Amino acid sequence: MKALPFSKVVLEEFDESTGIIKRSGKHTRKSDAADKSKIVQELMKSKEFIPQANRKYSVFKDIKPSLLTGFDYHSLYDWIDKHKDDIEKKRKAR
């Protein structure tokens, strides 16, 4: 807790020296919204979010396409059914 004020000062000085402006998040400038819109339009035009079979990333070659790839739903349903049964019989649910 005693380091918090020191850390805050260090971070504020870093932000000031690098020119980072702290925004409240309550208001956005019109130019910010326009810039974001341009970025979205460019991403949509280049079809970045559309899966393509020939698109490969050598750095992420072993990454799964989804967190649920290979997930065993049958075991999940068995686990849920077991715990529902335990609750009905007023056994400890966990």
Predicted local confidence at residue 25, as pLDDT: 59
Predicted local confidence at residue 3, as pLDDT: 74
Predicted local confidence at residue 28, as pLDDT: 55
> How far is 71 from 91, CA to CA, in rounded Å?
28
Residue type, 58: S
Q: Which two tokens stand for residue 68?
A: 């649920």
The pLDDT tens digits of the residues spanning 26-81 come to 655 556 666 777 877 887 888 777 777 777 667 777 777 788 888 999 999 999 99
Predicted local confidence at residue 41, as pLDDT: 82
Predicted local confidence at residue 32, as pLDDT: 64
> How far is 94 from 76, CA to CA, in rounded Å?
14
Q: Which residues, in sequence order, are CB contacts of 20 under 8 Å at separation 6+? A: 14
**In this model, does residue 88 exceed pLDDT 80?**
yes
Looking at per-residue pLDDT, the higher value among 89 and 60 belongs to 89
Distance from the first to the final alpha carbon of the chain: 36
Instruction: Give φ, ψ of 82 to 5 degrees.
Output: -60, -45
